Amino acid sequence: MSFLVLIALGALLLWLPISSHGGLAFSEALFTACSAVTVTGLVVVDTGSALTLFGQIVVLVLIHLGGLGLMTFAALTVMALGVRFGLRGQHLVREAMNQTSPGDMLTLVRQVALLAFTLEALGTVLMAVVWVPEMGFWEGLWFSFFHAVSAFNNAGFGLRADSLSAWAGHPLINLVITALFIVGGLGFTVLMDLRRHRRFSALNLHSKLTLSGTAILALGAWLLIMLFEWQNPHTLGSLPTGERPWAAWFTAVTPRTAGFNTVDTAGLIVPSTLLIILLMFIGAGSNSTASGIKVSTFMVILLATRSFLLGRPQPSAFRRTVALDVVFRANSVVVLSLMMVLLGTFLLVVFEPRLQLLDLVFEGFSAFGTVGLSRGITGELSLPGQMVLMVLMFTGRIGPLALAFSLARPRRRRVRYVEELVQVG
Amino acid sequence: MSFLVLIALGALLLWLPISSHGGLAFSEALFTACSAVTVTGLVVVDTGSALTLFGQIVVLVLIHLGGLGLMTFAALTVMALGVRFGLRGQHLVREAMNQTSPGDMLTLVRQVALLAFTLEALGTVLMAVVWVPEMGFWEGLWFSFFHAVSAFNNAGFGLRADSLSAWAGHPLINLVITALFIVGGLGFTVLMDLRRHRRFSALNLHSKLTLSGTAILALGAWLLIMLFEWQNPHTLGSLPTGERPWAAWFTAVTPRTAGFNTVDTAGLIVPSTLLIILLMFIGAGSNSTASGIKVSTFMVILLATRSFLLGRPQPSAFRRTVALDVVFRANSVVVLSLMMVLLGTFLLVVFEPRLQLLDLVFEGFSAFGTVGLSRGITGELSLPGQMVLMVLMFTGRIGPLALAFSLARPRRRRVRYVEELVQVG
Ligand SMILES: [K+]
Ligand SMILES: [K+]
């Protein structure tokens, strides 16, 4: 609910003449506000050139409230789950969060906010080293601050139409931006766990799965993108050989919800595009600013498949067994998420018969995963198409969380009908 | 295992010079045998013109063994499940099958075989009324018999390169063929249940869900195909107005595993194509000759989503509650099936960079669902591409069944590690 209010308020502010050069249509302002609050980053107007400084500040505040606000909302949710999980569940959730009582809630929110501001400030200073000399003091500082906030919150909003393509081969910018959005995308439970236990072996299973999954996905995607795109003249092939690994790395990690790009997304060949669609669907960590099914869900499904193929009764990893409830919940998250994103994508295809299928599917998954990568068609969409994207961004942002919450709710057993088996598969 | 032997034997027979005009490459013979045994119907050589009568008979025998053989294998599987389900499960499975003891097994297999032959004979006679006058006695009778067997087994093999397009608007051919493959696709548990209880209200939940799901999918798809294709000059638009509903009906029900076509599949617009891909993924009834996730699985997922959105503890339909195990198993079937088909499709895209994405995705889902519809690229595939399709047909045919079997197996609880929760979604 608070999200809807925030979007409406943001849309009104962006609609004001003071926010843009020449004024926005209300639908443009609404789309921009929705994209900012859901930290997606899809745009119908160019943030850097069409919005004034005031408009850009509005976007940044919306990103912060949408991103950080969601993290604290997630904290609330998880705390609520802890209370409702029953005794055994409470113990496990508490362990997962290193929390001793719901009274620590406020402390937790403060810690999250403090961590966010610290990392954003650090990122701003590091990037200012590059951008202040290039653009002058105030301009360079604003550019650095805007991108640091946008990166840590995985918002994907940039100030240039071609995102960060000008620095495709710049080591420092690549490192700082990807570090910010990868850390921001781990999720606060993992961050808190890392704060407490510095050694990997001391972490809880959720943190281990999220961290190892993040590493596997990032490295695997890096290798595949280099393999697919090395010679492609529209993407890596246009860069000096030494810069290609940097651009491939950026392309490999940005789909997991960040949404910046350093090479032309529309220039990628089909296999890379499909890989990126999968990565966008997976997203990053639970309780982060990421949408999608989440890395931990993906890892649980991989583990369950492995244990199934090996004929083992339950999946296990890192000398811990994954509870079967978790496997079932993971499957439900995948199936419900797929139903949402496929329905939305189908409507996009029906509403936009003139646009390419691959571009529309990409756009739909990008919106649902609140990623913000685009093959360049966002601005060409009709009003119904834009509305589908807004609904996808919103449900993508809220859906999985609400779903996880609801599935964890103890079910009132008031079965009135006789239970019966149905053959499936 | 027996499937692999059957495919190898069939490939050798089709490879013989006596089977074809001018001889087949071994890979062509293997692909044809695999397609026939898995009752898919994708072809790299035209069955009607490239194969001799002997070759066509080999294909028909393979279809019958693959189709009917699978149905009896399915019977064995379900019986085995009944034994392993434990007391409560046994009761439910027995009820679902109207079986009183595993000793009735042989009777059941006989009943299935008898039903198949009866319906195939009936279909042959009805279609011969049309085709004997058109083609002469022996030619017309063979044509009728071949199509009746192919239809009831949902094999999709035809004797003309354009399948049944010549009879796109013929009421009798449309009715007989679609009736044969819809009834053949219900699955033998439903057929046996129907034989016993003639009234809908007396059927078990599995039969009710399969029948209502089949009706909903068929009517829904019929309306959507008419909506999307009515004016399309490549499909319905080329037919007289009175014939269009017939062709739309055929197009709407064939993706659920039959695989014949009366309009040009490659001429369908994108929304229809996506709808057909979904229908191919769903397939028809459990324990039928269909692959895909099955209608009952689809219905369970719809019911679970509804109960989730309404905040109800468990899905229910027709005054019966669906067991939660079933919901979880349905989700697992969907997730594992998706992983298989998406991996295969991704490999197709990598191996065939010159072909269209939509065509490849369509071909991958058609193979996995053992449907046999094609947008015309089967013959253009490279050898690696053909091998991917063969693996997809085989896993599509065997996978879900083996999966259902394995998931229903009581899990040996030999948990050595501590259980831990993981946040998903
Ligand atoms: K984003
Ligand atoms: K078929």
pLDDT in tens, A173-221: 888 888 988 988 888 778 878 877 778 888 888 888 999 999 999 999 9
CB B417 within 8 Å of CB A319:
yes
Of residues A189, A350, A422, nearest to B300 (C-beta): A422
Chosen from B88, B338, B348, B424 to mutate, greatest number of chain A CBs within 10 A = B424
Across the interface, whether the CB atoms of B92 and A421 are under 8 A apart is answered yes
Supply the ipTM of this predicted assembly: 0.78
- Write down how long chain B is: 425
Answer yes or no: is A217 within a domain.
yes
CB B225 within 8 Å of CB B219:
no
Answer yes or no: is A418 within a domain.
no
Tell me how far the alpha carbon of residue B205 lies from the centroid of ligand 2, in angstroms: 27
By CB neighbour count within 10 A (0-12 exposed, 13-18 middle, 19+ buried), where does B195 fall?
exposed
Across the interface, whether the CB atoms of B404 and A424 are under 8 A apart is answered yes
Size of interface A-B (CB pairs under 8 A): 221
B407 CA: distance to closest CA in chain A (Å): 8
Tell me how far the alpha carbon of residue B291 lies from the centroid of ligand 2, in angstroms: 9
Answer yes or no: is B354 within a domain.
yes
Across the interface, whether the CB atoms of B406 and A311 are under 8 A apart is answered yes
Across the interface, whether the CB atoms of A424 and B314 are under 8 A apart is answered no
Q: pLDDT, tens digit, for every residue of B266-289?
A: 888 888 999 999 999 998 888 777
Tell me how far the alpha carbon of residue B372 lies from the centroid of ligand 2, in angstroms: 5
Across the interface, whether the CB atoms of A357 and B353 are under 8 A apart is answered no
Answer yes or no: is B74 within a domain.
yes
Chain B residues within 8 A of A314 when measuring between CB atoms: 411, 415
Chain A residues within 8 A of B313 when measuring between CB atoms: 411-415
Contacts 24+ apart (CB under 8 A), B74-77: B74/B187, B74/B188, B74/B286, B74/B287, B74/B401, B75/B105, B75/B108, B75/B109, B75/B112, B75/B188, B75/B287, B76/B105, B77/B401, B77/B404, B77/B405
Answer yes or no: is A302 within a domain.
yes
Dist CA B245 CA B247 (whole Å): 6
C-alpha distances in angstroms, A326 versus A283, A288, B167, B331?
Answer: 18, 19, 52, 13
**How many domains does the structure of chain B reveal?**
1
Chain A residues within 8 A of B314 when measuring between CB atoms: 411, 415
H runs (alpha helix) in B352-382: 357-368
A12 CA: distance to closest CA in chain B (Å): 31
Across the interface, whether the CB atoms of A321 and B419 are under 8 A apart is answered yes
Across the interface, whether the CB atoms of A206 and B421 are under 8 A apart is answered yes
Answer yes or no: is A414 within a domain.
no
Answer yes or no: is A424 within a domain.
no
Name the residue range of residue A6's domain.
2-408
Q: What's the pLDDT score for residue A223?
A: 93
CA gyration radius, chain B: 21
Show Cβ contacts of residue B226 under 8 Å, excluding neighbours closer than 6 positions.
B236, B244, B245, B248
Ligand nearest to the CA of B255: 2
Tell me how far the alpha carbon of residue B367 lies from the centroid of ligand 2, in angstroms: 9
Other beta carbons within 10 angstroms of residue B167's beta carbon come to 21
Tell me how far the alpha carbon of residue B67 lies from the centroid of ligand 2, in angstroms: 10
Residue B285: DSSP 8-state: -
Which among A88, A304, A326, A410 has a CA at the least distance from the CA of B425?
A326
CA gyration radius, chain A: 21
Show Cβ contacts of residue B184 under 8 Å, excluding neighbours closer than 6 positions.
B67, B116, B119, B151, B152, B153, B154, B288, B289
A254 CA: distance to closest CA in chain B (Å): 19
Across the interface, whether the CB atoms of A421 and B305 are under 8 A apart is answered no
Tell me how far the alpha carbon of residue B231 lies from the centroid of ligand 2, in angstroms: 28
- Residues facing residue A320 across a β-bridge: A317, B418
Ligand nearest to the CA of B185: 2
pLDDT values of chain A reduced to their tens digit, one per residue, 425 residues: 567 888 888 888 888 887 888 777 888 888 888 888 888 888 888 887 788 888 888 888 888 887 776 656 555 555 555 444 444 444 444 444 444 455 555 676 677 778 888 888 999 999 888 888 888 888 888 888 888 888 888 888 877 777 777 787 788 888 888 898 898 888 877 887 887 777 888 888 888 899 999 999 999 999 999 999 888 888 888 888 888 888 899 888 888 888 888 888 888 888 899 999 999 999 888 877 778 888 988 998 888 877 776 767 677 788 888 877 777 778 778 888 888 899 999 999 889 888 888 999 999 999 898 888 888 888 888 888 888 988 888 888 876 556 555 555 544 545 456 666 666 65
Across the interface, whether the CB atoms of A92 and B339 are under 8 A apart is answered no
Answer yes or no: is A419 within a domain.
no
Amino acid letter for position B406 = S
